[in-house]
Amino acid sequence: MLEQRVTIIGLGLMGGSLAMALRPFVRHLTAVDIDDDVNRKALQEGLVDAASPDPAEGVAEADLVVAAVPAQSIVVVLSELPAWRPDGCMVMDVGSTKKTICETMETLPSDFAAIGGHPMCGREHSGLGAATPDLFRNRTFALCRTSRTTHDIEGLALKMVECLQAQPLFLTPARHDRIAAMISHLPRLVSAALMRTAAEVDDALLWPLSSTGFQSVTRLAANNPSVMRDILLTNKTAILQCLARYEDHLSHVRTLLEADDQADIVDWFEASREEHEHYQSKRRSR
């Protein structure tokens, strides 16, 4: 049982799932959502002990504040926090990018302890309705230390990760953002662009003929648009680099096809198959 009073800001997919998973382990849980219907629903269902649309009220007695809103809003929360809590408190986040957020954490007054967090999991749907307590189970929970990270908040973050049945993994914010651009942010762009391309096709047989492959590759096209905007804006450089390399690969295979280069086309797909196999073996072994 965690003795600390915890306030979660933002009760969407991440914040809601966090509340559900932490509920049995936290003595006092408060929700702060901009949508008061969400607060009422969380209270009615007994998901939290208190809820308010007013962040100053919601964080007033918190030992730990968890910011679970889109990345740019997390930056706003961190900037406002000293006004809401002049005496300081502990704060962590579960945002999709870490560099901008951790840099903002480092500007907090010294009464604040802060650590960056990012559970590497998700669902294609958003909002409290999509939340589930097992979202984090067996997933990697990335943790980024900052100059505001104390022994206490690191210990509390690790306890929390344990409650979620996730695996903690420490890395620097810059390394996190470079990797996340490749294995999380670019795939969402790729998936959404495919959906947008297909949606232009005006043929009634398009969807009846579509199968599990299309379903799988477009799964991330349903991502929350505000979350996506904030991911792109707060990890712009790394995402643009990955996107440029991705566009080069596409352009290369297009050139091979334009030239009817049968042998190189086979080699290209053979390499992709081998890389996929290597990736699967790494996944299985972790």
Range 249-268, binding its own copies (CB under 8 A): 249-251, 253-254, 257-258, 260, 262, 265-268
Site mask for its own copies (CB under 8 A), range 174-203, x = bound: -xx-xxx-xxx-xxxxxxxxxxxxxxxx-x
Cβ at position 283, least distance to its own copies in Å = 6
CB neighbourhood size of 46 (10 A)? 8
Residue 56 binds to its own copies (criterion: CB under 8 A): no
**Cβ-based nearer residue to its own copies, 111 or 275:** 275
Alpha helical stretches, state H, 4-150: 13-22, 36-44, 55-59, 71-84, 99-105
Contact 232, 239 (CB under 8 A): yes
Q: In this structure, what token pair is assigned to residue 17?
A: 């799932």
Q: Does 76 bind its own copies (CB under 8 A)?
A: no
Residue 134 touches its own copies, criterion: CB under 8 A: no
Q: How far apart are CA 90 and CA 114, in angstroms?
A: 6
Q: Which is nearer to its own copies, 81 or 120 (CB)?
A: 120
Residues in 14-53 that interact with its own copies by CB under 8 A: none
CA-nearest of 147, 155, 32, 157 to 94 is 157
97 part of the interface to its own copies, by CB under 8 A:
no
**109 or 280: CB nearest its own copies:** 280
Asked if 246 interacts with its own copies (CB under 8 A), we say yes
Residues 144-173 vs its own copies: string with x where CB under 8 A? -------------------------x-x--
Question: What whole-number distance in Å separates Cα of residue 93 and Cα of residue 77?
Answer: 10
CA angle 104, 107, 111 (to 5 degrees): 120
Token pair of 14, please? Answer: 């991440």
Q: Quick check: 243 binds its own copies (CB under 8 A)?
A: yes
DSSP 49: S
Q: Kindly state whether residue 209 participates in binding its own copies, applying the rule CB under 8 A.
A: yes
